[in-house]
Structure 1
Amino acid sequence: MCGIVGLWDSRGKRHIDGGVLVRMNESQHHRGPDETGTHVAPGIALGHKRLSIIDLKTGQQPLFNEDHSVVIVFNGEIYNYRELIPELTALGHTFRTRSDTEVIVHAWEQWGEACVDRLRGMFAFALWDERQQTLFLARDRLGVKPLFYAQLPDGMWIFGSELKSLLRHGGLKRDLDVQAIEEYFALGYIPEPRTIYTSARKLPPGHTLLLRRGQPAREPRQYWDVRFTGANTISEADAQAELVARIQESVRLRMISEVPLGAFLSGGVDSSAVVAMMAGQSSEPVNTCSISFDDPAYDETRYAQQVADRYRTRHFVEQVATDDFDLVDTLAELYDEPYADSSAVPTYRVCQLARRHVTVALSGDGSDENLGGYRRHMYHLGEERLRSILPLGVRRPLFGTLGRWYPKADRAPRFLRAKSTFQALSRTSVEAYFHSVSIFRDDMRASLYSPEFKRRLAGYRAAEVFERHARAAQTDDPLSLVQYIDLQTYLVGDINTKVDRASMAHALEVREPLMDHPLVEWLATLPAGMKIRGTEGKWVLKKAMEPHLPHNIMYRRKMGFAVPVERWFRGPLRERVQAAVMDGELAHTGFFDRAYLKQLVEHHASGRRDYSGPLWSLLMFEAFLRRVHTADAGSTPTTAANEPPALVRVA
């Protein structure tokens, strides 16, 4: 795992200041503390920070082909590189290293843009071909590895693994994107391709960007997508056996390493399945890492210990106080843009623990999205059955009225918390699913924003993100539709972002065997009934794992990786969140209705409502403004030379 940066002149071969490249590169030192490499030539500059995992002696980057006409900087792992080396050698290519990086160079020479179709793994890379005067950027199919880029007004392109590397360039305008802000307060993250700044973009998963000097810039090209067909007629027994075999193969590929390797073990079915498959293919005890909490309501270590004992792993556990909220500012700086998943706190800590013992860790991420593992998937299917009874023209006025007038009952038994259900039934399937995952729901965001901010939004709604992906899903199956949306949004923007930044903060490589793209493609062919059976999600995985894992591991209620934010905001963080929301940077943006902000704080503190999610998102947005956006804005011009500097500018 590494960090990459670069600059490219689209208009000619102007001199590039090597000092700027170094500044951008060093901003990502945490991603690769083992080695640093740069390449500067007229019109092109590439930088690399290396975390050495494979081919420790000869895998340095930037890496060139034989005549130095092609050069690459690469972040990630190509798991099938050992199969590609003999194929490319037979085609006449000469290898000087044993690294997966060099495979990409020769694959580009052999297959051009189609080289990405041959790569199995997680990756983000930038490749410069001097002969073709071509810059080629690529990102893996499921967005495990990030890649940010921007075109500056002078024709220079800049790119990097993290947004902070672009900010360190000094020429990127910091105008905040109001549509990105709308998406953030709805979802808790900013989905691809937006960033918080209008001038920068994320390369979407499964996309490449090819740029040729002297030619107009292209739009990113999609080279991969998953199709949920549900058309596989395999028997349940055969599906279970094939699933085990596929996970075993995916785990085996991800155990290739020349440095210490282990796994996260939460005690849930996903990480436990990965550990079970690792133990079956390792001659040595598997290293496993777990975080315990001092509050039993959040602690799963007894389940993790069961799996560790069964497979005799070398198990490491560290206790974290549930009042571990001092990371707020650290997380804001780490994520570079607003990010509101509070499980980033324990994720940061478990990566910190793992790095003390291993350099590579396998995780169980990706299973819920691919196998219908979230409770919201089951609730959505139940609502869909009700929506199918009445047409939208009847449901919208009927349930819309009930949703407006039914009281909010956060603490009541679930069958009495009908307000959200009524609101969902008054919507289309996509609108309802968006509603179910929103932090600030539509009516709350309408109250949150100031009149001026609403004017700037000009009617834009974050739900358009889901609607755009729904149009591309090519399926009418209710479960498949929301799974596809999750893969394009939540998995990439929330889960993968969280794990990448938290792991790279500690120079730890995390590999996700349940996101192996051939496995994902195969799972998409299985009918919905193999994923959700009654009230049981991930049904086929649990049945397949019954010979390998204790029954109570698989069939207990899903806990998630949570922290007690609700209690924090009524106790130790009460004054902090009040100051941040009412008196901090938020108050000076002009984005928000201050009376509504005060209402959120007071109603939560009094216990009348649970606004922990909305308040956490506001706290993290304020921390972003304070620790990232304005912290070193002096190095990045955001206003015209004759204007006084502003705290916040929006496009």
Structure 2
Amino acid sequence: MCGIAGIFDTQAKRPIDQALLARMNQTQHHRGPDESGLHAEPGMAMAHKRLSIIDLSSGHQPLFNEDGSVVVVFNGEIYNFVDLIPELQALGHTFRTRCDTEVIVHAWEQWGEACVERFRGMFAFGLWDRNKETFFLARDRLGVKPLYYALLDDGQLIFGSELKVLTAHPALRRDIDPRAIEEYFAYGYIPEPRTIYQQAFKLSPAHTLTVKRGQPIPQPREYWDVPFQPLTPMTQAEAQEELIPLLRESVKIRLVSEVPLGAFLSGGVDSSAVVAMMAELSTEPVNTCSISFGDPAFNESEYAAKVATRYHTNHRVEQVDADDFDLIDKLAALYDEPYADSSAIPTYRVCQLARKNVTVALSGDGGDESFAGYRRYRWHLNEERMRSFIPSAVRRPVFGLLGKLYPKADWAPKIFRAKSTLEGIARDSVEGYFHSISLLSDAMRARLFSPEFSQELRGYRAVEVMYRHDAHSPAQEPLARVQYLDIKTYLVGDILTKVDRASMAHALEVREPLLDHKLVEWASRLPASLKLQGGEGKYIFKKAMESHLPNEILYRKKMGFAVPLASWFRGPLKEKVRQAVLGPTLAATGYFNADYLRELVDHHQAGLRDYSTPLWTLLMFEAFLRRNCGAKEQLER
């Protein structure tokens, strides 16, 4: 696991400022504290920060081919590199190391842009081919590893593992993108490929960008997608029989390491399944760690302990106190742009705990998206049944009116919160799902933004992200369609971003077996009835794991990885929230309706409504502005 950075002159071979590149690279020192490397030649320079995992003695980067004409900087792991080396050697390539990085340069020589289709793993890399005058950026299929880039006004292309690498370049314009703000307050993050800055972009998962010097910059090319096409019909027993070997192999190839390795163990289904497979594959006890909470409503540690006991792991637990909110400003520094998932706090702490004993940790991320574990999938399918019975010409006016008239009841169990359901049924399938997952609804964002900022959006709505992905989706059935949308948005923009920044802040590599693309492809082809059955999410996954985990782990209520925001904002963070949301930083932007900001704060702190989610979203936006933008810069859009 590493950090990469580079500058490529797309127009000519002008000298590159190596001192500037070194400063850009240094901003991500936390990603690779073991060593640094930099290579420069006319019109191109690349730098690297290394966290040594495999081939500790000779895996230095930037790394070259035999004659030095191809050079790469790489972040990630190519798990099938052991199989690719003899194949490439048979084709005439000579290897000087035994690391996965060298596979990339020879695979490029052999297969060109299609080399990424041969890689199994998580990766982001930049590659320069001097003979072809070609620069190549690539990102793995699911977006486990991040990659940012920007084309500067002078024709230089800059890239890096984190947005802070790009903002370290003085020529990057920091004009904030109004559409990114609209998206942030809907999703809680800024979906690919946009960033908070108009000039900077994320390279989307499963995309490459090929730039030839002196030619126009093309759009990134997609090289893979989740298929979501039905498998040959199989019984439940056959599906269970196929799943376990796929999971076991996915875990096995992620156990290759020359440094201490362990796993996160929350006590949930996914992390417990990964630990079970690790224990069965390992001759030594598995190192596991988990976070506990004093509040029993958020505490899963007893379940993690049961799995640890069953598999005799070396288990470590640390408690996160209810007042563990000192990370707010640190999180703003880690994420570089607004990011509002409050579970970033316990994720940061569990990575901190893991790094005390291991350098590599396996996680259970991805299981909910692939096997339909989220509760919201059940609610969406219920709404879809209603939509299928009632024509849209009736649904929109009737249910839209009922939704407006029905009182909002945040305090009630979800089954009684009919307002959101009625509003969702009034919409089409995509907009209904978007409505169900939005942090702030369309109506709330309409009140949140000032008239001036709303005019600046020119009618743009965050739901367009979902419509764009749905139009491209191979999925047909209702469940598969929303799984696809989550894989393209929530998984990469929220979950994987959170884990990457939290882990790399501690120089910890995290590997996700449930996001192995072969396993994801197989799961996507399963019929909905094997994913969600009788209200039970991850049905086939749980059935397959019954011989490996107790039912109290597999079939208990899902808890998530949350923090008690509502009580924080009425208690120890009461004044901090008031000062941040109603203070000068947000006011100076001109983005917001000051009366509505005050209503959110007053009503929440008086206990009239639970506005903890929008308040946290505003709090993190304010922290981003304070750290990354001066008041003058905020207004110069």
8 Å CA contact 2:268, 2:554 repeated in 1: yes
Aligned residue in 1 for 2:315: 315
Matches within 5 A, 1:184-263: 184-263=184-263
Q: Distance in 1 between matches of 2:183 and 2:4?
A: 27
1:647 aligns with 2:633: yes
1:64 aligns with 2:50: no
Amino acid at match of 1:46: M
Q: Distance in 1 between matches of 2:142 and 2:610?
A: 33
8 Å CA contact 1:183, 1:189 repeated in 2: yes
1:16-42 CA distance string (max 9 Å, x none):
111101100000000000010000111
8 Å CA contact 1:178, 1:650 repeated in 2: no
Give 1:241 shift: 1.5
1:586 aligns with 2:572: no
Aligned residue in 2 for 1:604: 604
Give 1:650 shift: 5.9
Aligned residue in 2 for 1:169: 169
Give 1:294 shift: 1.5
Q: Distance in 2 between matches of 1:212 and 1:41?
A: 16
Aligned residue in 1 for 2:518: 518
1:48-71 CA distance string (max 9 Å, x none):
000000000000000000100000
8 Å CA contact 2:475, 2:484 repeated in 1: no
Q: Distance in 2 between matches of 1:393 and 1:608?
A: 36
Aligned residue in 2 for 1:461: 461
Give 1:415 shift: 3.0
8 Å CA contact 2:590, 2:635 repeated in 1: no
1:281-318 CA distance string (max 9 Å, x none):
00000000101112222111100000000000000111
1:134 aligns with 2:120: no
Aligned residue in 2 for 1:32: 32
1:588-623 CA distance string (max 9 Å, x none):
100000000000001111111111110000000000
Give 1:231 shift: 4.0
Amino acid at match of 2:349: R
1:365 aligns with 2:351: no
8 Å CA contact 2:188, 2:439 repeated in 1: yes
8 Å CA contact 1:565, 1:612 repeated in 2: yes
Q: Distance in 2 between matches of 1:48 and 1:161?
A: 10
8 Å CA contact 1:176, 1:198 repeated in 2: yes
Aligned residue in 1 for 2:157: 157
Q: Distance in 2 between matches of 1:313 and 1:584?
A: 51
Q: Distance in 2 between matches of 1:650 and 1:558?
A: 45
Aligned residue in 1 for 2:410: 410
8 Å CA contact 2:588, 2:635 repeated in 1: no
1:375 aligns with 2:375: yes
Look up the SS of the partner of 1:113 in the other structure: helix
Q: Distance in 1 between matches of 2:116 and 2:623?
A: 38
Aligned residue in 2 for 1:564: 564
1:143-188 CA distance string (max 9 Å, x none):
0000000000000110000000001111111100000000000000
Look up the SS of the partner of 1:647 in the other structure: helix
Look up the SS of the partner of 1:280 in the other structure: helix
Q: Distance in 2 between matches of 1:100 and 1:142?
A: 19
Look up the SS of the partner of 1:569 in the other structure: helix
Amino acid at match of 1:648: Q
Look up the SS of the partner of 1:6 in the other structure: strand
Q: Distance in 1 between matches of 2:500 and 2:424?
A: 33
1:500 aligns with 2:500: yes
Q: Distance in 2 between matches of 1:82 and 1:7?
A: 31
Aligned residue in 2 for 1:642: none
8 Å CA contact 1:174, 1:649 repeated in 2: no
Matches within 5 A, 1:441-452: 441-452=441-452
Aligned residue in 2 for 1:639: none
Amino acid at match of 2:36: T
The percent identity for this pair of structures is 66
Aligned residue in 2 for 1:637: none
Aligned residue in 2 for 1:548: 548
Range that drifts further, 170-179 or 222-231: 222-231
Give 1:476 shift: 2.6
8 Å CA contact 1:14, 1:43 repeated in 2: yes
Aligned residue in 2 for 1:573: 573
Look up the SS of the partner of 1:74 in the other structure: strand
Q: Distance in 2 between matches of 1:323 and 1:467?
A: 40
Q: Distance in 1 between matches of 2:62 and 2:171?
A: 24
Aligned residue in 1 for 2:330: 330
1:243-299 CA distance string (max 9 Å, x none):
110000000000000000000000000000000000000000000010111222211
Amino acid at match of 2:320: V
Look up the SS of the partner of 1:494 in the other structure: helix
Q: Distance in 1 between matches of 2:346 and 2:383?
A: 33
1:532-551 CA distance string (max 9 Å, x none):
00110000000000000011
Q: Distance in 2 between matches of 1:610 and 1:236?
A: 42
Look up the SS of the partner of 1:411 in the other structure: coil
Give 1:629 shift: 2.7
Q: Distance in 2 between matches of 1:268 and 1:474?
A: 30
Look up the SS of the partner of 2:142 in the other structure: coil
Q: Distance in 1 between matches of 2:636 and 2:197?
A: 9
8 Å CA contact 1:359, 1:509 repeated in 2: yes
Q: Distance in 1 between matches of 2:591 and 2:10?
A: 36
Aligned residue in 1 for 2:614: 614
Aligned residue in 2 for 1:90: 90
Q: Distance in 2 between matches of 1:415 and 1:77?
A: 44
Look up the SS of the partner of 2:253 in the other structure: helix
Q: Distance in 2 between matches of 1:504 and 1:483?
A: 28
How high is the TM-score relative to the length of structure 2? 0.99
Q: Distance in 2 between matches of 1:317 and 1:221?
A: 44
Amino acid at match of 1:152: L
1:105-155 CA distance string (max 9 Å, x none):
100000000000000000000000000010000000000000000000000
How high is the TM-score relative to the length of structure 1? 0.97
8 Å CA contact 1:291, 1:318 repeated in 2: yes
Q: Distance in 2 between matches of 1:626 and 1:345?
A: 19
Aligned residue in 1 for 2:422: 422
8 Å CA contact 1:584, 1:622 repeated in 2: no
Matches within 5 A, 1:273-352: 273-352=273-352
Aligned residue in 2 for 1:636: none
Aligned residue in 2 for 1:147: 147
Q: Distance in 2 between matches of 1:155 and 1:475?
A: 39
Amino acid at match of 2:634: V
Aligned residue in 1 for 2:473: 473
Structure 1: runs of 5 or more not aligned: 631-644
Amino acid at match of 2:539: W
Look up the SS of the partner of 1:283 in the other structure: coil
Q: Distance in 1 between matches of 2:415 and 2:439?
A: 21
Q: Distance in 1 between matches of 2:603 and 2:429?
A: 31
Q: Distance in 2 between matches of 1:412 and 1:141?
A: 40
Aligned residue in 1 for 2:354: 354
Amino acid at match of 1:131: N
Look up the SS of the partner of 1:230 in the other structure: coil
8 Å CA contact 1:589, 1:647 repeated in 2: no
Structure 2: runs of 5 or more not aligned: none
